[in-house]
Amino acid sequence: MDSLIEINHQGDIRSPWREFWRRIITNPVAVGSGGFILLLVLVAVFAPWLAPYNPMQSDWTALSAPPSWHHLMGTDELGRDLFSRIIFGARISLYVGFFSVTLGMVLGILLGLFAGYYGGWLDMLIMRGADVLFAFPGMLLAIAVVAILGPGLNNVIVAVAVFSVPVFARIVRASTLSLKQAAYVEAVRCAGARDRLILLRHILPGTLSNVIVFFTMRIGTSILTAASLSFIGLGPEPDVPEWGNILAMGRSSMMAGVWHISLFPGIAIFVTVLAFNLLGDALRDTLDPKLKN
């Protein structure tokens, strides 16, 4: 187990949190990607005040209008301001990405802890169930879940959460198998501590570094999957300002030379997913003791 304090070459004692933040703020990739994500969160929170127009209001005098001073990113086929719709789309995309991955993480952590700690038939049952879910590509599994539950924003969250559960379960199980053999866990067990106390206080904290890294990267994947489901008509209603819906609306206009309807939501999805992946890589470099100098 990592020590609770860290001493640098000058003999100064640093707490793990101070050392973590020191390594993060000296990593330009982490600062850049984290700053963009923070800006995106602020945009989503203050969307009603930042959007210049109502995202559902149509301007019938400017149908599929190109970018201009009045409409910075142009308008869609119904004359709705594209810039305003993308701003409100950030709110929906972050909502889906965060809550779907959180749901999958909670279920995966519980299953991984039980499987790794108790082993036996429970471990076999949980891991074989994970193998069944791994047999399907993530996007195909999400389509199947939405096809069963029906289109809708909440059903998209459930679908994205389902294919996140087995990955979290495997990550936590692998860490639990290693940590339950540690000397401090054996000492606590010999002292008569209950399994619940051992799992929550002594094993779970040791798995969180890997979970945090994967959680960050999984949000980007979930945003991309949710946008893909909306693009093929399995997401929220078509008039909802969601990035996948906006991209799907611009699909029919591309052959007519109207490029901006598909370009700007595509850029928003690309940059957001890239930022979460880069932040996840930076967190992995910071939290993994094997990568420290």
**Angle value at C-alpha 27, between 25 and 30, nearest 5 degrees:** 85
Task: Point out the residues of the chain with pLDDT beneath 70.
Answer: 1-17, 20, 255-257, 288-293
Cβ proximity of 217 and 201 under 8 Å: no
Neighbours of 132 (CB within 10 A): 10
Q: What per-residue confidence (pLDDT) applies to 272?
A: 94
Report the Cα–Cα distance between both ends of the chain, in Å, rounded: 18
Q: What per-residue confidence (pLDDT) applies to 3?
A: 42
Q: How far apart are CA 28 and CA 41, in angstroms?
A: 20
Q: What per-residue confidence (pLDDT) applies to 240?
A: 85
Q: How far is CA 261 from CA 68, 155, 287, in A?
A: 13, 26, 40
Q: How far apart are CA 201 and CA 143, in angstroms?
A: 38
Tell the burial category of 124 from Cβ atoms under 10 Å away from its Cβ (0-12, 13-18, 19+). exposed
Q: What per-residue confidence (pLDDT) applies to 288?
A: 64
The structure tokens 């939290």 sit at: 287
- Domains of the chain, by residue range, sit at 28-173+209-291
Q: How far apart are CA 230 and CA 207, in angstroms?
A: 34
Q: How far apart are CA 223 and CA 41, in angstroms?
A: 14
Residue 209, C-beta contacts closer than 8 angstroms, at least 6 positions apart:
287, 288
Cβ proximity of 29 and 278 under 8 Å: yes
Cβ proximity of 236 and 220 under 8 Å: no
Cβ proximity of 142 and 205 under 8 Å: no
Report the topology of domain 28-173+209-291: MetI-like fold (1.10.3720)
Q: How far apart are CA 230 and CA 156, in angstroms?
A: 9
